[in-house]
Amino acid sequence: MESDDTLIDMISMRATLCHCVAFALVAFLPGPLLAQEYHIARSRENRVVFISRAPIDEFEGITHLIDGYAYIEGDSGLVAGADYTGSELYFEVELNGLDTGIRLRDRQMRDDYLETDRYPYATYSAAIESVELSSGGEQTINASGTFSVHGVERPLQISCNSVAAGAGYRVRCGFEVLLSDYNIRRPSLMFLKLSDTIRLQLDFYLKPVDAEQ
């Protein structure tokens, strides 16, 4: 009789142990199983261009220092027409890396206008709303989120074109921002040389996280 009780106790203990292990495994698995994460491949030829077209001068600031990720719910990647609820796009540009071709102007941009010692990054954080098929085998990613620079955040909707590149994607985006919207002043003696409207052109590569590791 006593040995029967011991056997029942052992069976019960094994069952509890199995439950605990299963619970722990499920709880500690990293993230949802059906999601894909892509990181900007910093080793690739990424390029961000800030373009100012003012009445008497036009110049570009170029940097390769862009980083960020795309988090895609589901396992289909970027496919036109899929459900992108919960999917995100985030990128940030290191403004101290801006090269306008003239070191003196770079320093003025950093120190006097962008104040990069206080605000070193321009960031864009958005929800991916949809992906549509566009011409030439490319897809258009529509995203809605927040652009932040110089300590000011404003809502911004952008559209980017993506095309498959290896296991990941090449993404190209273009949009405009007004310096005055972000409290970035323009020098009084240079106002004709620096446009209030700055066009940003981004060209970067996304790689699946596993491919980076």
Per CB under 8 A, residues contacting another protein are 9, 12-13, 16-17, 19-20, 23-24, 27-28, 30-32, 35, 37, 39, 42, 63, 65, 67-69, 71, 88, 90, 92, 94, 96-97, 101-105, 107-108, 110-112, 120, 187-190, 193, 209
Beta-bridge partner residues of 93: 66, 122
Nearer to another protein by C-beta: 102 or 152?
102
**Which of 137-141's residues contact partners 24+ apart within 8 Å by CB, and which partners?**
137/163, 138/162, 138/163, 139/78, 139/79, 139/80, 139/163, 141/78, 141/89, 141/171
CA distance 102 to 114: 16
**Shortest gap between Cβ of 83 and another protein (angstroms)?**
17
Closer to another protein by CB, 31 or 155: give it: 31
Q: Which is closer to another protein, CB of 1 or CB of 29?
A: 29
CB of 149 to another protein, least distance (A): 16
Question: Smallest gap, in angstroms, from Cβ of residue 144 to another protein?
Answer: 18
Sign of the CA dihedral with 194 first, then 195, 196, and 202 last: negative
The residue among 1 and 33 lying less far from another protein, judged by its C-beta, is 33
Are 176 and 202 in contact, with CB atoms under 8 Å apart?
Answer: no
In whole angstroms, the minimum distance from the beta carbon of 136 to another protein comes to 29
Token duo for residue 29: 């698995």
Which residues does residue 35 pair with via DSSP β-bridges, in sequence order?
Answer: 73
Give the position of tokens 């040995």. Answer: 3
Contact 125, 132 (CB under 8 A): no
Q: How far is the CB of 130 from another protein (least distance, A)?
A: 20
- Residue nearer to another protein on the CB measure, 12 or 81: 12
